[in-house]
Amino acid sequence: MSTSSRLTPVQWAVCIVAAIGFAFDIYELLVLPLIAQPAITELGGVRPDSPEFTSFALAWRGRLFYIPAMAGGLFGLLGGYLTDRYGRRRVLVWSILLYAFAALAAGYSTSLEQLLFFRCLVFIGVCVEFVAAVAWLAELFPEPRQREAVIGYTQAFSSIGGLMVTGAYALAVRYADSFPAIYGGHEAWRYTVMSGVIPAIPLIVIRPFLPESPQWRERKEAGTLKRPSLGELFAPEFRRTTIVTTVMFAASYAAAFGAIQQLPGIVPGLPDMVAITRAAEPAPAPIPAQQSAPGTPAPAKPKPTQQQRDAQRQVQQSISLVQTFQEVGGLLGRLMLAFLAIRIVSRVKLLRIFQIPGLIVMPFVFAYAATQSVDMLKWGAAIAGFVTVAQFSFWGNYLPLVYPLHLRGTGESFAANIGGRMIGTAAALVTTSLAETFTGTGPARLAMAAAVVGTAVYVIGIIASFWLPDPGQKAVAEKD
């Protein structure tokens, strides 16, 4: 591969595939916060107006966030090993195809258990793809400044993916009735989930033109490529790096899943949204005398009026608006990270540019702005996205610098999947469980729990950063 500042056509193809992969990684992850509530309502079998629905919905929301992350983390760790054993390109392509077609199948789920199963497959593909793509890019672009720029800017497409899924959800909400019926209905959440199959289409076309990592291929063909070992990550040379990056990766993901990704569940509880919903409620009908006697069956629940459907659509559009602001903030954060990564040599200083403001932002957004109005919350979400999402790009730039070639996929996978996907995403379950201990409506309880969790994990991340090894922009010396 060329090491000049100008990219060759093949390098552009590589960047396009990596950008598509990163974009739909986040696309798939951010589908769930948008569709969780309507999917639980449709598939759960518990009436939304029943007393037990709030606890039921919070429990399943936690499961849908955490169990797929556990599956993705475990299989993603295996994917990192396979990336080191069988090549970056092969694992990258198959992981993208896995999560794309699993997303298509998820749209046809007939129960929460089926939806959970397909979401597990989606997470497995996403977790493997990130590790393979980062290792692939780091080795195809060996010149340091070019490598930092390519990894940084292609990862910025992750936030483009967030904007895309927000737009897809908004379109599905608006035009659901015009799409082909699924099981006799036109539920917007199903069309949004199924749109995740899109990346499979260009990938099938471009795949024959994609090169393998030249460093990996040369050593594999020469028989000098060492076999990766999970135990080697905890050898004296790498132990500190492995432990600290795992803890900090977990803190980054915990801020996102424990707080930011709870916003779609918080927005309906804002005072202006509650007012819209209540204004659409019809006056209670008097109960006929013959139905007031004990043992008399309750009357059937009336169908929603047009005013109620309009109010629901307005709330869904407000959710999409807040999500859009959060994703724009995240995109700007990733772009700023990519810009600074080739200008600030110290990786620790680079990270703290985003960590320290985040410690102030998180409690303000979730303990205050999340109780005020959509207008205030959307700006708070944008700032929270800026400081938090930028840290995801940081790890993509940082991890290839601290592990040798034969261990790169395994090391990245351990930090990203054990730390980020398994431990970090557990914050979603912590948040939904902690919400049960607060008083008030479901959205209000979720907001307070998100404030506590988001602030706590930022504190953990900042403390851990004092032990983070700082390699600058030079990769570790190869020892193969």
Contact 384, 260 (CB under 8 A): yes
Look at residues 207, 244, 189, 281 and name the one whose alpha carbon lies nearest to residue 419: 244
Question: Region 114-121: what's the mean pLDDT?
Answer: 94
Higher pLDDT, 390 or 317: 390
- One DSSP character per residue, 440-453 reads S-HHHHHHHHHHHH
Residue 343 in domain:
yes
Residue 330 is assigned to a structural domain of this protein: yes
pLDDT in tens, 294-352: 555 555 556 777 777 777 778 878 887 888 899 899 989 999 998 998 888 888 999 99
Predicted pLDDT of residue 1? 46
Q: Are 281 and 309 in contact (CB under 8 A)?
A: no
Residue 479 belongs to some domain of the structure: no
Interior angle at CA 92, CA 170 and CA 398, nearest 5: 85
What's 215's domain CATH number? 1.20.1250.20
Which pTM does this prediction carry? 0.76
Q: How far is it, in rounded angstroms, from Cα 187 to Cα 185?
A: 6
Tens-place pLDDT, residues 60-85: 887 887 788 788 888 877 887 888 88
Residue 63 lies in a domain: yes
Residue 214 domain-assigned (yes or no):
yes
Residues 263-275 as b or e (16 or more Cβ within 10 Å = b): bbbbbbbbebbee
> What's the total number of domains in the chain?
1
Residue 31 lies in a domain: yes
Query: Whole domain around residue 325: which residue ranges?
Result: 9-282+305-467
Report if residue 86 sits inside a domain: yes
Q: Has residue 69 been placed in a domain? A: yes
